[in-house]
Amino acid sequence: MKIFLDSANIEQIRQAKALGAIEGVTTNPSLLSKESGDWKKIVRQICREIDGPVSVEVIATECAAMLAEARDLVKIAPNVVIKVPVTLEGLKAIKELHQRGIETNATLVFSPNQALLAAKAGASFVSPFVGRLDDIGQDGMQVIQDIMTIFRNYDLPTQVLAASIRHTSHFFQAALLGADAATIPLAVLLELIKHPLTDIGLAKFLADWAKR
Ligand code: E4P
């Protein structure tokens, strides 16, 4: 499973990159709006820092305007992936961008049906939001599993990118299901490293060494 960082903060991205685990970044309008400075410069900086895909979302809600934004976004760096919400207009935009050879990440996916339509339109990634489904009492991981089954049934090339990952168990379950990628906040990435037995074991090794 590829690991992407869900952040628009360059310091967080550098911190994650230093661990050697990050193969891409996902941003969204909420994450970018938290950062101060010119958002295009921030995106350019992220794209220089990370070799893999960097998702940047369109703000427009109408297909022609989405395509115009996408045209500008792809000029920022060759690894920009256009994030498009799965709406009627968004699906049209994904189809057009696919025909022009531009990579897309279909975002705000909450059902297998939405994911299938995005894949048919030619999305490179679909991003089911696991945590937000759990928040409303649904089973986000079941949606990931269902999408994976459907994509396998029809041999669809679109990658399943587990998003809205809130804790280590989401990450672990996505990997067990064989999701192509998961995008996680830095806090979750740092939690993945921890195990109490590692801390206890290290303390004992160091104490024994000090006694020699
Ligand atoms: C995915 O691409 C989104 O940026 C992100 O995972 C949303 O997560 P949230 O539901 O924690 O905001």
pLDDT digits (tens, 9 = 90+) for 41-62: 999 999 999 999 999 999 999 9
pLDDT recorded at residue 48 = 97
pLDDT grade, residue 131 (50/70/90)? very high
pLDDT recorded at residue 53 = 98
Q: Of 2, 41, 83, 92, which one is the catalytic site residue?
A: 83
Picking from 91, 15, 88, 78, the residue whose alpha carbon sits closest to that of residue 47 is 78
Ligand 1 pocket mutation, candidates 9, 83, 129, criterion most atoms within 8 A of CB: 129
Question: Which residue's alpha carbon is nearest to atom 6 within ligand 1?
Answer: 164
Distance CA 31, CA 21 (A): 21
pLDDT digits (tens, 9 = 90+) for 136-157: 999 999 999 999 999 999 999 9
- Cα angle value 181/177/157 (rounded, 5°): 55
pLDDT digits (tens, 9 = 90+) for 81-93: 999 999 999 999 9
Extract the tokens encoding 8.
């628009």
Question: Which residue's alpha carbon is nearest to atom 12 within ligand 1?
Answer: 164
Ligand 1 closest atom vs CA 26: 2
83 is catalytic: yes
Q: Is the CB of 105 under 6 A from ligand 1?
A: no
What's the pTM value of the predicted model, to 2 decimals? 0.96
CA of 98 to the centre of ligand 1 (A): 23
Mean pLDDT across the stretch 105-134? Answer: 98
Distance CA 128, CA 99 (A): 23
- Partner residues linked to 24 by β-bridges: 4
CA of 211 to the centre of ligand 1 (A): 49
pLDDT grade, residue 8 (50/70/90)? very high
